[in-house]
Chain A
Amino acid sequence: MMHFIVFILISIVLLGCSLGVVLSKNIIHAALSLLIALLSVSGIYLVLLTEFLAVVQLLIYGGAIVIVILFALMLTRNDDYPRISNHKLWPIAGVIAISVMVTLSAAYYKTYPIQPDMIQEATVQELGTSLFTTWAIPFELASLVLLVALIGAIVIARSDKGDN
């Protein structure tokens, strides 16, 4: 029961802050709401007894990705900074999003019965064993993807040789 109450509270924070990300007029407020939303996703992982993913979420999303997004906001600021405008057709976007939500919810409602399920704890040791035996080749490929993305980001973002 305690688990369930904590889950509901974290879910409310998560959904509220993600609404703040997509609805806020101030772009900095949107970025800070994104930070809170990502931290509460880490809380959801803790409710699901997955400590390793919770820490990874805190480090990579809360630590790295939000900082990179804030840097990009700082480097691309222009006149409509504090009050951004949405696309003209935003009601259609709302209709599409709500219909996707309703459809997927109905599909899950048909699939799963509502019953309290047991949660299986995933320890770091078990995750590591699985990662380096079954998933060893995708793990190495992920490092290659990160290397390519690193080099690509440097090549794309650096200024041309001519202009100083």
Chain B
Amino acid sequence: MVPLFYINILSVLLFGIGLYGVLSRRSAILIIMAIELMLNAVNINFVAAAAVHEGSGMFSNFDGHIIAIFIITIAAAEVGLALALVLRIFKNKSSVNVDEFDLMRW
């Protein structure tokens, strides 16, 4: 069986990679893809904490799985809305690079 620590480390590495993507990319769609990676890292952590029980019965219910299902739902809604916003801005600015979205600068 897999130690919980290794799953947590996998989740941390995936979260860090996603964080690097969010901070370093210029294209808004690539930022959304990196956010999906971060959400998946959190999901892995939730499911691992619910599925791996350490003998004491500390995590004996399925709340982690349920929260992961809700996170997937919210992620689907978020991707739909965010890509609609990206398409809308692309219509006005002909670009999806976030450093060119300076409409509110004065």
Contact = CB atoms under 8 A, between A and B. Distances in A.
Interface of A: 3-4, 7, 11, 14-15, 18-19, 21-22, 27, 30-31, 34, 37-38, 41, 44-45, 47-50, 52-53, 56-57, 60-61, 64-65, 68-69, 71-73, 75-76, 78, 84-87, 89-90, 92-94, 96-98, 100-101, 104-105, 108-109, 112-122, 126-127, 130-131, 134-135, 138, 142, 145-146, 148-150, 152-154, 156-157, 159
B87 A76 contact: yes
B73 A22 contact: no
B53 A27 contact: no
A48 to B, nearest CB: 4
A80 to B, nearest CB: 9
A148 B84 CA distance: 13
Contact of A65 (B17, B50, B75, B91): B75
A37 to B, nearest CB: 7
Interface residues of B, number: 74
B10 A127 contact: no
Contacts of B81: 149, 152-153, 156
11 contacts: A44-B44, A48-B7, A48-B51, A50-B65, A53-B69, A87-B99, A90-B23, A112-B5, A116-B3, A122-B50, A150-B80
Question: DSSP class of A's interface residues: helix, strand, loop or mixed?
Answer: helix
B13 to A, nearest CB: 6
Given A18-B37, A72-B87, 20 more contacts: A14-B14, A18-B17, A19-B17, A21-B34, A22-B34, A27-B29, A37-B37, A48-B48, A53-B47, A72-B29, A84-B25, A101-B12, A101-B13, A117-B52, A122-B50, A127-B65, A134-B66, A142-B70, A145-B73, A149-B81
Contacts of A69: 29, 32-33, 79, 83
Contact of A117 (B2, B24, B34, B68): B2
Contacts of B60: 120
B5 to A, nearest CB: 5
A153 B20 CA distance: 27
